Amino acid sequence: MSSGRVYLDYNATAPPDPEVIARIRPYMEADFGNPSSLHREGQRARAAINGARAGLARILHCQENEILFTSGATEALNHVFLGFLQQPAGHLITTQIEHLAVLEPCRFLEKSGWSVTYLPVDGDGLVSPAAVRQAVRPDTRLISCMHANNETGTVQPVREIGEIARAAGIPFLTDAVQSFGKISVDLAAWNASFAVFSAHKIGGLKGTGLLYVRRDRDLTSLIRGGHQERGGRGGTENVAGIVAMAEAARLAEARRAGEAARLKTLRDTLEAGILKQLTGARVTAGGAERLPNTLHVVWEHLDSEKLLMGFDLAGIAISNGSACDSGSVEPSHVVAALGLPDSYRKGAVRFSLGRGTTAEEIDRALTETIRIVRHLQKERVHAGPVKHAGN
């Protein structure tokens, strides 16, 4: 980065691609019209949305009328879950490692009489398709499983889970926010009824998302007040954000294979260096298929808050989990679900690489990781055992 800092938090957000910024400039200057207006300015904006929708449909291998633009993935997920409030209470199946944008609507539905099964995961963060099958009940109305986890990078067996849902006649929802633009996305092969995507994870703008609703499914509108998005979501469309999402997706798809290989090489270099030169480190999801850009490490007896402070002071931006769960001093629900020994649960950090990541930055990140971790380990040894009141 030009500031001298190293940014390794792409799973939280990716910097807008320069080509994306250039692409949307006209819609922030000359073509600023309201896409619902009938005059020339409005129709130019409408044409831009239509073009973006068509481009995204080609990338996602779906129909244009199956795409609903939203303010982000959180809104899109809430749209699916809260759309079910119009139905009699039933049963939902999800997992313990979903994003809070899934877990919190599920908890809300539970207060309204719904029953929710939260499936556990193994030590790599993988959900068992057999467990999904066993959880299905006659009143199951939805199965929800993310494609790739935002913290560990674990890629879930959504094809198998989608097939279970199809065979049982149950709608299947997948959160594909982290996998979009990084690995293959195939909504048809997954038998997905609903899927959500976010622009700012792939170099688009914050505040734009996409909800895929298969044409044989219907949802009650979550936001009322207009007939935009074919009546599916009221409110004036974010033209620049929608155009930016389509352009970012186009670029990500064109680069995907090459970038995946490049980022995996860099990620594996960092991982190998950490495991070789530091003690007390465990790579989570190391035995499962992972996103090529994601490395999640837990350190025994270390505190992630101190680790993150050390990295930030060293000019390196990483995280310890979901940005939507920041500020918590407790281990994330994802780390807790992995079944790690207590001594590892508070020392989690996530390195997530992206388009701007270089080999030189990875070398610097490894050097600083070694220095910071060794310093904290030495500090802990010198501090001695913790003394508790009454001892």
Strand segments, DSSP code E, in the chain are 6-7, 67-70, 91-95, 115-119, 140-144, 172-175, 194-198, 209-213, 281-283, 294-299, 316-317, 348-352
Q: How confident is the model over 120-150, as pLDDT tens digits?
A: 999 999 999 999 999 999 999 999 999 999 9
For the domain made up of 18-251, the CATH class stated in words is alpha beta
**What pLDDT sits at residue 326?**
52
Q: Catalytic residue numbers?
A: 324
* Average pLDDT over the chain, rounded to an integer: 92
Q: What percent of the chain has pLDDT over 90?
A: 81
196 closest CA partner among 214, 217, 212: 212
Superfamily of domain 6-12+256-382: Aspartate Aminotransferase, domain 1 (3.90.1150.10)
pTM confidence score: 0.92
Q: How confident is the model over 33-43, as pLDDT tens digits?
A: 888 888 988 89
Q: How confident is the model over 30-79, as pLDDT tens digits?
A: 888 888 888 988 899 999 999 999 999 999 999 999 999 999 999 999 99
**What pLDDT sits at residue 391?**
38
pLDDT, mean of residues 244-257: 97
DSSP bridge partners of 211: 68, 196
Q: What is the CA radius of gyration of the chain?
A: 22
**What pLDDT sits at residue 327?**
52
**What pLDDT sits at residue 83?**
84
SS3 content of the chain, % helix, strand, coil (to 5): 45, 15, 45
pLDDT, mean of residues 221-243: 83
Q: Tell me whether strands 348-352 and 316-317 are parallel, antiparallel or unpaired.
A: unpaired
> What is the identity of the amino acid at 98?
E
Coil, strand or helix at 319: strand
Using CB atoms within 10 Å of the CB of residue 166, give its burial: 0 to 12 exposed, 13 to 18 middle, 19+ buried.
middle
198 closest CA partner among 249, 154, 235, 238: 249
**Could you tell me how many residues make up the chain?**
391
**What pLDDT sits at residue 256?**
97
**What pLDDT sits at residue 2?**
45
How far is the C-alpha of 321 from the C-alpha of 353, rounded, in Å?
A: 14
Q: How confident is the model over 149-191, as pLDDT tens digits?
A: 999 999 999 999 999 999 999 999 999 999 999 999 999 999 9
pLDDT band at 255 (very low <50, low <70, confident <90, very high): very high
Half-sphere exposure of 386 (CA within 13 A, CB side): 4
The domain limits of the chain are 6-12+256-382, 18-251
How far is the C-alpha of 372 from the C-alpha of 366, rounded, in Å?
A: 10
Return the axis-axis angle of helices 73-83 and 100-111, rounded to nearest 10°.
30
> What is the identity of the amino acid at 193?
S
How far is the C-alpha of 45 from the C-alpha of 51, rounded, in Å?
A: 10
367 closest CA partner among 313, 314, 309: 314
Q: Tell me whether strands 294-299 and 281-283 are parallel, antiparallel or unpaired.
A: antiparallel
**What pLDDT sits at residue 29?**
86
Query: Which residues, 6 or more positions from 154, have their beta carbon under 8 angstroms from its beta carbon?
Result: 97, 121, 124, 125, 126, 148, 285, 288, 289, 290
Return the axis-axis angle of helices 359-383 and 304-313, rounded to nearest 10°.
130
How far is the C-alpha of 242 from the C-alpha of 69, rounded, in Å?
A: 7
